[in-house]
């Protein structure tokens, strides 16, 4: 009988704004607090964990030296618990979940933790490129794509142009994200997934990025950031943020033996790659790939989490797939909540799992674009 990978606990920190409430907290300690809560949710003895697979993008400074392993130690878990930190750009912690699930299915792990962290306040985006962004690619890549800037913001503008997305439509989507996130906060949709974080003499309990006073008029006043004649602004882009998230993965048999109620099964996952200059269209191909692997149609998916790196990315994905926008990011997304790079994929999964449980959805699909022209997609099935 083939083993299955099930998620039995899923938690995240609040998402802090850049230089906000979580900016005074070391990312190792932020990750440790999330790991501690994860174990407490199911009365897990950490000594039984086979591996911790952790996502992080900017692995320098405070996020260097295998930040996943350092978080394990900071949590007070036994020295015997290994951890690995991986980087698949913005999809790092979603890839961590896919790797953990694959390890469980293959029999390499019985119990694994997947998740990730990013403190963009303390370890700024791009700080790994000490010799300039071009040096990271080398001469041959530059020769293959002459004149390319490999800018995600410019890619957002190119996507808007290719899919004929007007600035007003993009701003309207951004406002939708804030309004839905505010509503989700008000009705308590995030209550079961968020771990309160104590730092600086206060307890941080809510995502900080939601702008309740945002309006179409305010968004329209913002100047495009990346391209002359572009449509991408600070208001319709994801926010720079700090956060951590984690999920506990095991087999159905082990969960039953330990008395854990599975929240969802990792049904299928896929990773695809696209043109690295346009780069942010990957969720389209990844969605089709994971649906083929799952043997499901788009219409069978009850709810979606598509990372809002830029509002244009989700609108292009929706235009191409034909998905019902009412089922996409119904609690808001990264435009309102924030995009703490190495945490974001796990954050999508945490929110998706809890929504599926809360609303009785059977299938959920999450997809996330990644720098370099890649994307991860995953289908979860509620159990």
| Active site (catalytic) residues | 90, 339, 369
What are the helix (H) ranges across 210-273?
A: 216-220, 252-258
Closest CA to 32 of 66, 91, 77, 63: 77
For the four alpha carbons of 39, 93, 48 and 363, in that order, the dihedral sign comes to positive
Joined tokens for residue 131: 């010799």
Q: Give the H/E segment covering residue 364.
A: strand 363-370
Joined tokens for residue 347: 């954050």
Spatial contact of 271 and 286, defined as CB atoms under 8 Å apart: yes
> CA of 97: how far to CAs of 23, 332, 346, in Å?
26, 22, 7
Q: How far apart are the first and last CA of the chain?
A: 18
> DSSP 3-state assignment of 257?
helix
Write the burial class of residue 374 (CB in 10 Å: 0-12 exposed, 13-18 middle, 19+ buried).
Answer: buried
Strand partners, 270: 377
For 251, phi and psi rounded to 5 degrees? Answer: -90, 160
């Amino acid at each position: 009988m083939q083993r299955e990978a099930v998620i039995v606990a899923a938690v995240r920190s609040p998402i802090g704004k850049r230089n906000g409430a979580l900016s005074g907290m070391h990312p190792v300690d932020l990750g440790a607090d999330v790991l501690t809560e994860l174990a407490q949710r199911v009365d897990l003895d950490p000594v039984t964990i086979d591996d911790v697979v952790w996502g992080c993008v900017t692995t320098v400074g405070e996020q260097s030296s295998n930040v996943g392993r350092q978080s394990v130690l900071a949590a007070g878990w036994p020295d015997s618990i290994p951890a690995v930190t991986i980087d698949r750009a913005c999809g790092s912690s979603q890839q961590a979940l896919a790797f953990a699930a694959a390890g469980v299915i293959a029999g390499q792990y019985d119990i694994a933790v997947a998740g990730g962290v990013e403190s963009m306040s303390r370890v700024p985006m791009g700080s790994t490129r000490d010799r300039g962004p071009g040096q990271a690619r080398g001469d041959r890549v530059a020769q293959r794509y002459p004149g390319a800037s490999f800018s995600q913001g410019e890619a957002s503008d190119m996507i808007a142009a290719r899919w004929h997305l007007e600035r007003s439509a993009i701003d309207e989507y951004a406002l939708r994200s804030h309004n839905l996130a505010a509503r989700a906060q008000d009705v308590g949709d995030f209550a079961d997934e968020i771990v309160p974080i104590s730092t600086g003499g206060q307890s941080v309990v809510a995502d900080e990025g939601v702008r309740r006073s945002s309006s179409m008029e305010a968004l329209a006043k913002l100047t495009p950031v990346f391209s002359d004649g572009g449509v991408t602004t600070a208001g319709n882009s994801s926010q720079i943020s700090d956060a951590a998230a984690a999920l506990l993965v095991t087999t159905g048999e082990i969960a039953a033996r330990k008395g854990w109620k599975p929240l969802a099964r990792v049904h299928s996952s896929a990773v695809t790659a696209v043109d690295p200059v346009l780069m942010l269209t990957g969720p389209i191909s990844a969605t089709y790939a994971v649906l083929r692997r799952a043997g499901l149609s788009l219409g069978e998916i009850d709810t979606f989490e598509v990372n809002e790196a830029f509002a244009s990315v989700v609108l292009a994905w929706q235009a191409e797939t034909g998905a019902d926008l009412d089922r996409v990011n119904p609690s808001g997304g990264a435009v309102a909540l924030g995009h703490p790079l190495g945490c974001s994929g796990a954050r999508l999964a945490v929110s998706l799992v809890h929504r599926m449980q809360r609303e009785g959805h059977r299938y959920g699909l999450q997809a996330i674009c990644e720098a370099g022209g890649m994307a991860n997609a995953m289908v979860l099935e509620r159990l």
